[in-house]
Amino acid sequence: MPGFGTPEPVAITIINASSQTITAICRPLFQNISVSEARKMIEVDPFIEVGDVRGPSEYRGKDGHLPEAINIPLGTWPDAAGNPRKNLFQLDRNRPVLVCCASGMGSVLGSGLLYSEGFEAYHIDGGLMDWIHAGY
């Protein structure tokens, strides 16, 4: 799995506002951050990018998206097993990117793929659900 290390696998459990639990067997090579950490990064670092991996209808939907988020739908990445180059032209490889989705499930995969493509990727635990739940 791109963006995940396998030499020393560990089990991680992520619980978000929707009470969904995700358990991974491999150690992520990218950093998981909370929505409060993501908000602070967005506020203090004008250089940071936000990539939203949801589909266009969700991105434009009633819940909206994070400030300045760029829509890079995971479902349109060529062969989601690891060749996202076609859809990454919108992102600057020299800038850190916060990766978001609705709940944090799709953005885990997106973060791994971006990391494997040389991006400094940060996975936002809980995604937009936790962002809204936190009142942001």
Cα–Cα distance measured from residue 103 to residue 110, given in angstroms and rounded to the nearest whole number: 13
Instruction: Name the nearest CA neighbour of 72 among 49, 97, 55, 93.
Output: 55
Phi and psi dihedrals of 13, rounded to 5? Answer: -125, 130
Rounded to whole angstroms, what are the CA distances from 11 to 75, 103, 106?
Answer: 26, 19, 18
| pLDDT score for 26 | 67
| pLDDT score for 54 | 92
Domain covering 4-133, topology = Oxidized Rhodanese; domain 1 (3.40.250)
| pLDDT score for 88 | 62
Per domain, the residue ranges of the chain are 4-133
For residues 26 and 5, the answer to whether their CB atoms sit within 8 Å is yes
| pLDDT score for 81 | 44
| pLDDT score for 130 | 94
Q: List, run by run, the mean pLDDT of 10-residue segments along the chain (136 residues).
A: 61 57 66 95 94 93 91 70 55 92 89 88 94 94
The upper half-sphere exposure of residue 54, i.e. CA atoms within 13 Å in the direction of its Cβ, equals: 22
Instruction: Name the nearest CA neighbour of 102 among 78, 131, 76.
Output: 131
